[in-house]
Amino acid sequence: MKKLIDKLEKEHFLSKNEYVCLIENFENVREYAAKKARTICERVYGRDIYIRGLIEISSFCRNDCIYCGIRRSNKNAQRYRLSKEEILECCDIGYNLGFRTFVLQGGEDKFYTDEIIADIVRSIKKKYADCAVTLSLGEFPTESYALFKKAGADRYLLRHETADKTHYEKLHPKEMSFENRMRCLRDLKNLGNIINVASALGIGTTGQIEYDIDNKQQLENELYENAYKEALKKAQVILGKTDLNLKNPVTITDKSYGIIQP
């Protein structure tokens, strides 16, 4: 099993059978994998901690995904919705605490029209030009994502959850479609710097590992290809301005809203 961890570290890829074997026997190499992960983490990020100001703007949602606590059929969920003024007040508090990225997250609440969302983003960016704004508000038409980007949104978080159509349909109501989720993900990819796709392998049903790994790997390769290339270009530009022969590390802050330590 350690050989599979070593291969994953070196090549960043395993076959489906290798993934299944590793997952089924992971307890045998958990500590070994954790040490590897910690070493890589500290090599890339050092000891820095990156923080985001998460603002849950609404617990209303039109969808009924079976795994979600704010699904529309959950009668025990406490429902609320923040106004624009309340959202901006949260940003004020967060900024004073040192946050420089705000994540507006919520259910698919149709109270927030495209223009309301865009107006909120513009207002945050106008007041806090040195901050990044991430949206995580679910599925929208192509033109809506473009509007959010034009308004100033830096990133959009959308989970693909599963790359397998059959499994997707077990987790979501009939009015939601696997094809539309894939369309949303590809729209975000095509918008370039707004994409920030997150996956969630292992949700829900027995057997997902058996049939989802190949599809998931193929989808992530497609979605992340441009993102990797853009990140590499940015790193090369920044590192090209830095004297890497300095005895002490130099911290460079740029508009990526993160810290790079060569």
pLDDT score at 92: 97
Q: Both tokens of residue 134? A: 């991430």
- Rounded percentage of the chain residues whose pLDDT exceeds 70: 73
The whole-number pLDDT of residue 48 equals 80
Mean pLDDT for the stretch of residues 50-55: 90
Count of C-beta atoms within a 10 Å radius of residue 255: 9
pLDDT tens-place string over residues 62-108: 999 988 899 999 999 999 999 999 999 999 999 999 999 999 999 99
22: confidence class by pLDDT, cuts 50, 70, 90: confident
Question: Which residues on neighbouring strands pair with residue 136, listed in sequence order?
Answer: 105
Greater model confidence, 181 or 234: 181
Name residues whose C-beta falls within 8 Å of residue 96's C-beta, 6 or more positions apart in sequence.
none
Residues 192-201 as b/e (b if ≥16 CB within 10 A, e otherwise) read eebbbbebeb
pLDDT of residue 159: 81
**CA–CA gap between residue 82 and residue 225 (Å, rounded):** 36
φ, ψ (nearest 5 deg) of residue 104: -95, 115
